[in-house]
Amino acid sequence: MQQVIFRLLGPPEISYNDQPIRIPRRRSRALLYYMVSTHTSQPRERLMTLLCGDMDEESARRAFKTMLAEVRSQLRSIDPSIDWIKSDEDRLTFNPLAPIWLDTEIFEKDTASLQRNSNQAIKLYRSDFLDGFFLKGAPDFDAWVQSTRDHFHNLYMMALQQMADVYEANHQLDEAITCMHMLLAADPLSEDAHARLMRLHWLVGDRTQALRQYERLGKMLAEEFSVQPMATTQALYQQIARSTDAHAVTSSIPPARIAPVHAAPTPIVPAMPHMPHMPLKTTVEVPLVDVALPYVGRARELDWLREHLIGHENEHSLLLVQGEMGMGKTRLLQEMLRCYCADWLVLRGTCQEAEGKNGYHPLVEALRSGLDREDIAHLELYPAWRAQLELLVPDLFSIGGAGSVVDTSTYDSVERTGASRSEATLLADALVALLNGLATSQRPLLLLLDDVHWCDVNTLGLLGYLARHVRRREVFLLSTYSPGGGEQRLAALRNNAMRLGVLSELALAPLSSADISELVALFGTPGTPSASSALDAQDSVPQYTATGLSLNDWCYRQSEGNPLYALAWLEAGWNRPETFVPEHIASQVSAQLDRLSRHARHLLILAACSQEAFDLALSGSLLGYTLATTLAASAELIEQRLIVAVPTPATSIYTLYTFAHRTARVSVLASMTAIERSLLQRAVQGTLDIGITV
């Protein structure tokens, strides 16, 4: 029979035999779009929550039953012999053998292969995924649509860029110009595309059009952001304006416009004193206090892990645990392994910042941590797969060593009938076969990677592939990461996994005051042996009268619910100067500040010398920054979770900010000399006194 055509890149269309298939109810259409797009088994409860988020449970069940019946009725009218949507207890799956043509599937395959001409993918992309389609009262569905929309939009932009590269390399400049116009239609704010279009127009001899393109860019940036084009784009414009030889124009494309660089205007306050150099050093997250303590708090988080590993929610193959440094991610996973994974095969690796460029390093460490030759001796692997695994972990795999392999003629037939595959794809398939082969229902497998925000790009891509293809409920990928840039690096992995329905995430919140009190009790109080290493003998009498706080309240205030920070403060004691920060905490904060740009670091230093709530625009002006530089530096500090907005009345036109953690502010102040602090604080106060506004 003919295929049912699903066109979801653009306003959604479903047709059969060139006749449109119309499904009256919007929620029913949403159900079909989701199941066709994810192509994975979905629990009924998840689908009901996704599509009926605004209804009470009874109404949601009735509505879901109606929409499922409507979808099945429409599909059966095409061919009643096909079981279009399969039911397995409480799970539903769109039949993978059903005769359908899905534009998103073809589009993704075309854009995934660099050897393939991207023209077909570009033609498939009519506009955004499910353009114009929305579902009232279903925020989870709308979030899925938006993440999927962003995913395909990015692939489309990459395809256009790739085609422009191909055309330009073949001296088909008119076609390259067309690609750039299409790219700008999809993203008018791409300064890269404007700059490249300027150069391409000049290369074909149309100098006037090249200069006009710059004028369009300048006008757009002025209207949208009140900024000028980047210095590199301005230089390209000047080169085109002066040059009479098109080939003299540089072929390099300016980098993405993140923070335009301009000459700073004359400051409106006296010159600032020299900004102090932060004594920074790279550290890794390790326990701060060498004390063996029982597990405290995190009952909700531990229950979440249990449900997603051995409970009713264990259909997600990729689990991500997010938490700031010192929040106890590693300690939580240790407790989880002890409680629930005693009989599991656990492969554990850690990503280090210094090893971020070493391809697949955490995977190599994980394989070596839990496997030996005997574990893999019984596995049947194609020779090409075993060869890839030998390159990755030569001490565990050997083509000529122990371990059975399938008959070579079988593998040869696969090679003859299939397309040639890259080594990266072979490695991905090999790891899928390895993990699936090692796991059983009696002995599930857990691949545990700590701090994946330091992972190399190849490892993150491989994790996405594994999450999609490993055997559900028997193989789990569990990773931890820290916010503050981590979300951005993991965006592609998270978006793809969420779109496929294989991801579930847990965010660690600070410990409660009661949890910190329990930690204090376990650590010990002044005068007890367990605390003697932390507190001097002369401090054996509690000295909380200066602040009026008990030891529990003092520790909670100092740590802000961070368990390892709490231990560090208990070890250091309370009788300290105002700017004192325990060494372990200071080194971690310094490592975070070391990753900031110069402008962002100076803005943060000045903010630390301001009042508790500060105006970023005023601070940027005091430093002589342009608006664009202030915006870029501010965005960096917010993204790194160093500062947060202070709640303000809806009628206020100004937004003030404060440090996300008081420890970060104290660490910045402590890194400065007394004279540096004094000069900067006086400069800030002087600005406030004369009432400068921005």
How is 637-660 classified by DSSP, letter by letter? HHHTTSEEEPP--TT-S---EEES
For residue 410, pLDDT beyond 80: no
- Give me the phi and psi of 353, to 5 degrees please: -60, -40
Residue 653: its pLDDT value, please?
Answer: 65
| pLDDT, tens digit (0-9, with 9 covering 90-100), for 432-475 | 999 999 999 899 999 999 888 888 888 898 999 999 999 999 99
Residue 458: its pLDDT value, please?
Answer: 86
| 19 or 686: which leads in pLDDT | 19
Lowest model confidence (mean pLDDT) among 184-193, 249-258, 648-657: 249-258
Q: Give Cβ neighbours of residue 103 (< 8 Å, ≥ 6 apart).
A: 6, 7, 8, 9, 124
Q: Would you say how long the chain is, in residues?
A: 694
> Taking residues 158-177, what's their average pLDDT?
88
Q: What CATH code is assigned to 585-690? A: 1.10.10.10
How is 330-341 classified by DSSP, letter by letter? HHHHHHHHHHH-
> Taking residues 54-66, what's their average pLDDT?
88
DSSP H helices in 170-206: 173-186, 191-203
Confidence of residue 36 (pLDDT cuts 50, 70, 90): very high
Q: Give the right CATH number for 4-124 from 3.30.590.10, 1.10.10.10, 3.30.450.70, 2.60.120.260.
A: 1.10.10.10
Domains in the chain: boundaries: 4-124, 153-248, 299-507, 513-572, 585-690
- When the pLDDT of each residue in the chain is averaged and rounded to a whole number, the result is 79
Residue 344: its pLDDT value, please?
Answer: 94
Residue 240 and residue 211 in contact, taking contact as beta carbons nearer than 8 Å: yes
Neighbouring C-beta atoms of residue 623, cutoff 10 Å: 21
| 169 or 183: which leads in pLDDT | 183
* H-run or E-run covering 504: strand 503-507
Neighbouring C-beta atoms of residue 391, cutoff 10 Å: 13
Angle at alpha carbon of residue 77, lines to 73 and 83, rounded to 5°: 70
- Greatest Cα pair distance in the chain: 89
> Taking residues 397-425, what's their average pLDDT?
45
3-state secondary structure at position 318: strand
* CA-to-CA dists, residue 518 to 176, 513, 531, 555, angstroms: 65, 9, 14, 11
For residue 19, pLDDT beyond 80: yes
pTM of the entire predicted model: 0.53
Q: Into which CATH architecture does domain 299-507 fall?
A: 3-Layer(aba) Sandwich (3.40)
Among left, alpha and beta (phi > 0; psi -120 to 50; other), residue 95 is beta
153-248 and 585-690 share one fold: no
| pLDDT, tens digit (0-9, with 9 covering 90-100), for 327-357 | 888 888 888 998 889 899 999 988 877 655 6
Q: Into which CATH architecture does domain 153-248 fall?
A: Alpha Horseshoe (1.25)
- In percent, the amount of the chain with pLDDT more than 90 equals 21
Among all chains, which residue has been given the structure tokens 């088994």? 41
| pLDDT, tens digit (0-9, with 9 covering 90-100), for 314-330 | 889 999 999 888 888 88
3-state secondary structure at position 234: helix
